[in-house]
Amino acid sequence: MITQPASHFSRIRKQWHRLSALFVALALFLINSQAATAHGTGGLLRIDGAALGPYTVMIWTTPTILRPGAVHVETAVFRGRSRVTHCRIEVTVTPLDNRSSSLQSTAGAANAANEFRHEAAFQLDQPGRYGVVVTVADELQRGGDATFAMEIVRLPTVVRGFIYLQVVIVALTGGWIMKAGVEFVCSQKRNSVNV
């Protein structure tokens, strides 16, 4: 039999370790990607450049596809080309499909790096249509209201099942790859010892 140098086996082991680490990193990235986009970035632009008194506003909702759970309404206020941070921004969300009471929140800075974008967070657990009123006012009560409708959708059971199935398949495949890699490395070590 031909013997392989020890460096060959250590190289194979390193490759499997890298592949395993890459797989774990990818899985963690995919699991956490939704949470990372929920605060101060991205979203669906609902109002682009509405004039409210002396101000112009842009309003987004996140996540892009609104599902039962946390919903964020983000507002950016401008006066001309300057960002405005000293306004009071009130957001009111009212269910349109039933007679439930409205929810109201004062928007705060979405994050420290992007202080001109103000965020109001709501926990909307019921699917359906909602009316949103964003009120912008400064200390002189200049400003106004911007309104839009949004819909919270529940993913069908089939779609949710398909998503969970994909997670299980990825986990099983990753486990199989790691097990096969360990078995391969062990068999190579046994072969080199038996020679």
Tens-binned pLDDT, residue by residue, of the chain (195 aa): 555 555 666 777 777 777 777 777 666 666 655 444 444 457 899 999 999 999 999 999 999 889 899 999 999 999 888 888 888 999 999 999 877 789 999 887 665 556 678 899 999 998 999 999 999 998 888 889 999 999 999 877 777 777 788 888 888 888 888 887 777 777 776 766 665
Residue 48 and residue 121 in one domain: yes
The HSE-up count of residue 104 (CA atoms within 13 Å, CB side) is 5
Tally the domains of the chain: 2
Residue 42 and residue 30 in one domain: no
Q: Residue 1 falls within a domain, yes or no?
A: no
**Polymer length in residues for the chain:** 195
Q: How far apart are CA 81 and CA 176, in angstroms?
A: 56
Residue 174 and residue 84 in one domain: no
Q: Residue 186 falls within a domain, yes or no?
A: yes
Q: How far apart are CA 81 and CA 60, in angstroms?
A: 19
Domain interval for residue 62 = 38-152
Q: What CATH number is given to the structural domain containing 51?
A: 2.60.40.2480
Residue 27 and residue 57 in one domain: no
110-149 pLDDT, tens per residue? 655 566 788 999 999 989 999 999 999 988 888 899 999 9
